Structure formats: structure tokens, C-alpha cells
Amino acid sequence: MRTADTDKELVEQALEGRVEAFNLLVWRWQRQLYNFLVRLTGNRSLAEDICQEAFLRSYLSLKELRERERFASWLFRIAVNLYRSDRRRPSPLAAAAELNDAGDSAGEAHPMSREMLLTIRTLISRLKPELREVVLLRFFHGFHFEEMAGILDCPVGTLKSRLYKAVDELRAGLESQK
């Protein structure tokens, strides 16, 4: 099993019972998924729980994955559904507080001012969940609109309008901070 195996090949190997193939998929996508959930929830422990649950569920229902080359989209979809159904979702204010704590360590190693960094994170956390999901998937994780449509179970046109609306709100928020 080479590390350069594609997601599709690893999924097929995992379906044959090779757990190490699936763990390689975990290794490949855990950082992205974890960071997506941290940015989405604003809570690291919640993000860890959802991340672990998403990997477990994806493993148990791996047979249901039709397009095996789209494992990442399918994994993110599971995570989004878990997030939406989780009643422990923190309020935007709580998420902002968590982000401010995180900003203490992040601002030191980054050229952006700590103030600007916290401002942007706060603005992201105050977006409506459906707008925040689109912003994170598009800007931070580089998903195409078709992939996002599968992850968020939403038409492409709706996603684009949400993205533009989110960018307008972020821009307006930044303008108001000046």
C-alpha cells in the first residue's frame, strides 16, 4: 500500500477489510476536517468529538459511498450533518470567546495584527451557519461549487448567492471596524 494511493484506491482497500487503508485516509483528511469543524463550531472539544464521530460513521457506512473518488466530500457531508444535528452547538458569542482565547497564541506568530485577526474571526463566527459553512468550504478548503452542493445538500445557485452575501457582510463588518 503506497502512500500515493488515491482516495478511491484506499476506500476500496478499506472495504476489503484493510483498516490501515482507512487510517491512511484519516491521516490524509483529519487536519482539514478538524480545522473546518473548529472554524465552524468555534469549540475545539466539540470539533474533536464531531471529527471522531464523522470518521467512525464514514468507516461504518463506507459501502454506501457510490463515488469512491469523492470520499472527502462525503466525509465533510457527514461532519456537517453531525454538526447540524448536535445540540451542543455553541452560540456565536460563545464561539467568539473561544476564538479570542485561541487568538492569543495565533497572533504572535502571524504578521497580521492580533486585533485584525480577532476581528475577522469574530465576523466569521457571527455569520449565519449556512453562510459560515459556505465561506469555510470555499475559501479555507477550496471545494468547488459542485462539491459544496453535495456536502451541504444545496443547489449551486443558492450556494453562490450565499457566498456573495457572506462576503458582502464580512466586507461591511471590516469597513465598520475602520
Partner 1 sequence: MNCPDFKNLIAERVAEELTAEQKAEMDAHEKSCSSCRHAVEEWQKMQSLLLASWPAEEPCRPFFLLNPTRPGSWLETARTWFGTASMATVVGCLLLLAILRPSVSYDHSQLSINFGPARGEAGVMSAQAVTQTQVQAWVRQALEQATAVGPAETPPTSGTSSIPSNTVQARQVTQLGVQVQMLKENQSALWRQVEQHGLYLQSAWRGPSDQIQLQRQRSSDRP
CB of 145 to partner 1, least distance (A): 8
For the chain, give the number of residues.
178
The grid coordinates listed for 110 are 502571524
Please give the residues from 147 up to 166 whose contact with partner 1 meets the rule CB under 8 A.
160, 163-164
CB of 71 to partner 1, least distance (A): 13
The H-or-E segment that residue 83 falls in is helix 71-85
Please give the residues from 95 up to 114 whose contact with partner 1 meets the rule CB under 8 A.
106, 110-112
CB 85, CB 155: distance < 8 Å? no
SS3 content of the chain, % helix, strand, coil (to 5): 80, 0, 20
76 HSE (CA, 13 A, CB side): 26
**Binding test (CB under 8 A) with partner 1, winner from 10, 72, 80, 117:** 117
Which residues of this protein are in contact with partner 1, per CB under 8 A?
Answer: 14-15, 17, 19, 22-23, 26-27, 30-32, 34-35, 38-39, 44, 48, 51-52, 55-56, 59-63, 106, 110-112, 116-117, 120-121, 124, 135, 138-140, 142, 144-145, 160, 163-164, 167, 170-171, 174
